[in-house]
Structure 1
Amino acid sequence: MIPTASPQEEDYPLNPVPADQRKSIWSMGLVLLGFTFFTASMWAGGSLGQAFDFSTLLMVLAIGNLLLGLYAAILGYIAAKTGMNTALLSRFSFGKTGSKLTDLILLLTQIGWYAWGTATMATLLVELTGMQELMTTPLMMVFGFGFCVTASIGYRGLVWLSRLAVPAMIILIGVSMALTTADAGGLAKLATITPTNDMSIATAITLVFGTFVAGATQSTNWTRFARSGKTAAIITLLAFFIGNGLMMLVGAFGALVYQEADIVGIMTAQGLLTFGILMLFLNLWTTQDNTAYNFSVVGCDLLATGRREAVTIGGAAISTALAVMGMQEWLVPFLVLLGTFIPPIGGVIMASYFTGHKRRYAEAGQRALPAFNLPGLTAYALGSVVAYSSPWIAPIVGVLVAALSFTVLQLARQAIRARRPRPGLRRHLA
């Protein structure tokens, strides 16, 4: 007989987190900061740095990351109150079978980003160190399986890594930004640099919000461990606003001063190549292990198994194979497209919590859930279609339309049910 792990060892992938297993605000903050220190956010910030003057840039970053933080914070509040992650909450919003659709979308996105991160680490390391190109594939395999080690351990593995990596990254970023400001001639000189590209404010906010909204939607995997909804909301808002905002600011500064958005390129220009490689490694590892944890949790729900560690390794193997096959070149546009269809999931979950089940998830969990929740699925479809065709901030439009649609459909269904005569009354009237 194959031994099975206890729910605690597997981090409760299919069950609400019990009250006695909740974690401290400090460990959660470190994990979330490590997750939001995302390399792709720096490249997005570089695009903004070349399109706006300094004051407008700061305004765009503040608005975009505040909206992103608020979105993640509301989901964090719900996760802490229920003890459930996005996959489990989706069952109440879309039905037991309908939630498999959202599981698949989230799983594909996280496995894809893990493949991209694995390929990026191996490719850049070969380029920066001058190793032979034939080393790229072996390095992809090493990083593909190596990055998931802490995720396979579980929450405590993520905390262990974050305690070491997050302070080190903050120090390296602080040193680099100080040098960047000095090389630019000070903040006053930096503010006078003329942008070289054009971009609308709406497009810029979409870029800020959309770059990491997929990760924000699954941040419930950690906020469900919070001891209170208020704690989860505050720490999530701060982590996303500060973490993602700082990464974008670093990329924007680098693009303005060195025409480089990546931290490695910036530090190379500053004569800090070794520290740049260290920063890249820590940056990607803290994001990769969180990404692996994400696809392991949602994979458990999709496959109806509690063996989260096995799902972690399996997902890492698939991602590594994608990286080795060179699919990262077309994978990123596909993942960005998926980012349009992920925010409506969060919108439906929010509306379901506040209006659908009226926060009584414990009571609802005792009843058989339907295979398909039509209001939830319909609202998700409407949110996705409107977001895809919207010229405005697509992810935010998707969230709002999905939430509003679910609320209207749910209220309409409740009104129809209330008007139907009860069986006993129907016999009496007959």
Structure 2
Amino acid sequence: MVSPPSSTAPQRPAVLDRDRPLERIPVAERKGVASVAVVIAGFGFFTPTMITGGAVASEFSFATFAVLALTAAAVLALYIAALGIAAGRTGLTTVLLSRLVLGRIGGKWASILLGGTQIGWYGITIAVLGDLLGTALGVPTWPVVLLGGIAMAVTAYYGFRGIELLSWISVPLMTALCVWIAVGAVGNAGGWSGLLAQDGAGTLSVGAALTLLIGTFVSGGTQIGNWTRFAAGGRLAFGVTAVTIMVVQSAMLLFGGIGATGFGEPDFSGILIMTGSIGLAVFLIISNLWTTNDNAAYAFGVAGAELTGRPDKRPFIVGGVALAIVLALTGVTDGLTTFLVVLGVLIPPLGGAIIGTFVGPWRRRDPGTDLDAVGPVRLPGLIAYLGGTAAAVAGAWFDLGIPAVQGIVVAALLAALLPAATGARAVQL
């Protein structure tokens, strides 16, 4: 007679959240190239990037602007892809990478900084949604803000799969629509010869222009680990991220420049409203903002999970969205943009510290550290982050160079070199 299995046998714990916000993503649960690429592409369709492209295009000849746009896209692609490979090799979110680099206390700071910033941007985005759709449809803004804020959280609530599904629907349609509008803008400017004949105002320096072009997405791009951790390997994560970011960011900046030159309006949804294509404008507005905002909700969801130690991002998505809706409905977001731009100076050095640690002490591999065994402070990473932040703040204060890039470079160099200089005992306290 065979005895029944013992009730005291160890049971494998059920996974509370299949996106594993407090764990490494197992190799068996990784995604293919197309899945990761389409999610990154949806994240990169960012209306403020188009508007910035239009603003910079008005200051230069179009040929010069195109070179600047491609340069900015290349810088962003290299930086974001470097973070992408770190997440792909370790299977960790950006905030969990921050815990390994800075220590448990530093990880909490990263969660507050990255999560709080994304809640703010979520509120700003749904406020923009309310204004644009209210104008296009002639309806009050508050119902749009409320319903849009809730709807945009649904795909993030369901995790990577929900974001991927939305991206597969929205990205191809948005791309086709943007190309169609761009062709019309070129025609309205008198063809490519007319476009290239445009002269800019010439009041903006090259350094300031690159600061604007890079700055629109450098802070958001630091969150890339939330999605590249699902890539099937580090090289794949680097390649997919680099190509996707380069293509999407170049397109967004150039589309904005073409729209501003051809129609005097960098935002393509604004062009559609001007030309009376209200239905297409509504589609573009909703798709563009949704594919960015669900990524923001996902980001503050995993940040909340790390901050509290609860292995489920969903309650924090709900709470963050509720707070963002309140911010949007009370008009707080009107004064929040400048504050968030200031916070943006603090975020890129965090990415630099992660990259430097990954390339240096970790030798481009997963260090295999138990996430629950990380000490309160890791001095090399913390010093690197503070040094990079000081460089970024100094650049912004004295209007020198490109603050975000300087912060990344200084933090990365310090993170790569300090462990050898300080010795193993100083690494963790």
Aligned CA distance change for structure 1 residues 324 and 316 (closer, same or farther; 3 Å): same
Contact 1:258 1:269 (8 Å CA) reproduced: no
Residue 59 of structure 1 is matched in structure 2 by: 67
AA aligned opposite 1:409 = L
Residue 305 of structure 1 is matched in structure 2 by: 310
* Structure 1: distance between partners of 2:348 and 2:284: 30
Matched, 1:264 2:273: no
Residue 341 of structure 1 is matched in structure 2 by: 346
| Local SS of the residue matching 1:148 | helix
- How far the C-alpha of 1:271 sits from its partner, in A, is 3.9
| Local SS of the residue matching 1:12 | coil
Of residues 405, 418, 423 in structure 2, which corresponds to 1:409?
Answer: 418
* Structure 2: distance between partners of 1:368 and 1:416: 16
- How far the C-alpha of 1:409 sits from its partner, in A, is 2.3
Of residues 120, 139, 143 in structure 2, which corresponds to 1:112?
Answer: 120
* Structure 2: distance between partners of 1:100 and 1:31: 26
Superposed, 1:128-147 pairs within 5 Å as: 128-131=136-139, 135-147=140-152
Contact 2:16 2:312 (8 Å CA) reproduced: no
TM-score, normalised to structure 1's length? 0.92
Aligned CA distance change for structure 1 residues 46 and 333 (closer, same or farther; 3 Å): same
Of residues 249, 256, 278 in structure 1, which corresponds to 2:254?
Answer: 249
Matched, 1:102 2:110: yes
Residue 229 of structure 1 is matched in structure 2 by: 234
- Provide, for residues 275-321 of structure 1, a one-character-per-residue CA deviation record: whole Å limited to 9, x for no partner: 12211111001111111111111111012111211111111111111
* Runs of at least 5 residues in structure 2 that lack an aligned partner in the other structure: 1-12
Residue 38 of structure 1 is matched in structure 2 by: 46
Residue 322 of structure 2 is matched in structure 1 by: 317
* Runs of at least 5 residues in structure 1 that lack an aligned partner in the other structure: 419-430
Residue 192 of structure 2 is matched in structure 1 by: 187
Contact 2:92 2:225 (8 Å CA) reproduced: yes
* Structure 1: distance between partners of 2:121 and 2:415: 29
* Structure 2: distance between partners of 1:294 and 1:234: 22
Residue 198 of structure 1 is matched in structure 2 by: 203
AA aligned opposite 1:191 = L
- Provide, for residues 122-170 of structure 1, a one-character-per-residue CA deviation record: whole Å limited to 9, x for no partner: 1111112222xxx222221111111000000011001110111001101
Matched, 1:151 2:156: yes
Aligned CA distance change for structure 1 residues 335 and 185 (closer, same or farther; 3 Å): same
CA RMSD of aligned residues (A): 1.8
* Structure 1: distance between partners of 2:222 and 2:96: 13
Aligned residues: 411
Of residues 159, 165, 173 in structure 2, which corresponds to 1:168?
Answer: 173
- How far the C-alpha of 1:333 sits from its partner, in A, is 1.0
Contact 1:73 1:234 (8 Å CA) reproduced: yes
Superposed, 1:373-388 pairs within 5 Å as: 373-388=378-393
* Structure 1: distance between partners of 2:417 and 2:17: 41
| Local SS of the residue matching 1:23 | coil
Aligned CA distance change for structure 1 residues 367 and 299 (closer, same or farther; 3 Å): closer
Of residues 21, 24, 34 in structure 1, which corresponds to 2:29?
Answer: 21
Matched, 1:365 2:370: yes
| Local SS of the residue matching 1:341 | coil
Q: Percent identity?
A: 36
Residue 401 of structure 2 is matched in structure 1 by: 392
- How far the C-alpha of 1:72 sits from its partner, in A, is 0.6
**Is the deviation greater in 355-364 or in 223-232?**
355-364
- How far the C-alpha of 1:417 sits from its partner, in A, is 7.4
AA aligned opposite 1:230 = R
* Structure 2: distance between partners of 1:417 and 1:31: 39
AA aligned opposite 1:280 = I
- How far the C-alpha of 1:191 sits from its partner, in A, is 0.4
Residue 84 of structure 1 is matched in structure 2 by: 92
**Is the deviation greater in 303-312 or in 110-119?**
303-312
* Structure 2: distance between partners of 1:181 and 1:359: 45
Aligned CA distance change for structure 1 residues 228 and 357 (closer, same or farther; 3 Å): closer
AA aligned opposite 1:321 = V
AA aligned opposite 1:83 = G
Contact 2:89 2:365 (8 Å CA) reproduced: no
Contact 1:10 1:306 (8 Å CA) reproduced: no
| Local SS of the residue matching 2:421 | helix
Aligned CA distance change for structure 1 residues 106 and 90 (closer, same or farther; 3 Å): same
Contact 1:348 1:406 (8 Å CA) reproduced: yes
| Local SS of the residue matching 2:105 | coil
- How far the C-alpha of 1:357 sits from its partner, in A, is 3.4
Residue 289 of structure 1 is matched in structure 2 by: 294
User: After the TM superposition, which parts of structure 1 deviate over 3 Å for at least 4 consecutive aligned residues?
Assistant: 5-10, 357-363, 415-418
* Structure 1: distance between partners of 2:86 and 2:411: 17
**Is the deviation greater in 360-369 or in 121-130?**
360-369
AA aligned opposite 2:413 = L
